[in-house]
Chains A and B, each alone.
Chain A
């Protein structure tokens, strides 16, 4: 079974600084997707960024980028120029198209942004 692990229950960063959230996963498959979701206090899950395993290039979305290390099964999220609105719980998730819409989530990392 696939597992996703986020070893940092809590992280904090100063406004305008950069922070990296860690995620590792375990799978025997070669084709899969990895995601980072953000869940603010409103509890709405918001997709931040996604990475297709077959792509070697790391995904980037504005201030958010990932470091995808397929051999090491590592998928970290870097947030640059942190803003107060980035404060939220961040979840790493794994999924496969052939498994339909079943996502496996990590435990989450609570990010605090200090002004």
Chain B
């Protein structure tokens, strides 16, 4: 089976812009989770989608949003980018719950 894929791998944006990141889970997996990784805050959970519905949400402002499509692919969107949004964004997929496989991440730099 192909692993979790994320696009793009690298992204540079300026403050105030918005960005959309994409994640394709392992075939057959219905759950997609998103995490933000920064040197200062470590790995933090953003949200999880399961069968096109948001099932879990972390403590992030409303500028961070996501969605999942019928083929389980997921996108996350960050609006009005801030310098502090610079991070590695990791997507993980699982069949149903805690046992997750991660993608290679998208490195977002906000200038």
Contacts and interface: CB of A to CB of B under 8 A. Distances in A.
Interface of A: 32-33, 35, 37, 42-47, 50, 91, 95-108
B55 interface: yes
B104 A102 contact: no
A36 to B, nearest CB: 13
A42 B103 CA distance: 11
The binding surface of chain B is classed by DSSP as strand
A91 B43 contact: yes
Given A42-B104, A43-B104, A101 B43 contact: no
A107 B99 contact: no
Interface of B: 31-33, 35, 42-43, 45, 48, 50, 55-56, 58, 88, 90, 92, 94, 96-105, 107
Given A33-B98, A107-B42, A43 B105 contact: yes
B105 A44 contact: yes
Contacts of A104: 45
A42 B3 CA distance: 15
Nearest to B96: A97
Contact of A101 (B42, B90, B98): B98
The 10 A-B pairs at the shortest CB distance, nearest first, are namely: A95-B98, A45-B102, A105-B43, A97-B97, A101-B33, A100-B55, A33-B98, A102-B56, A101-B48, A101-B31
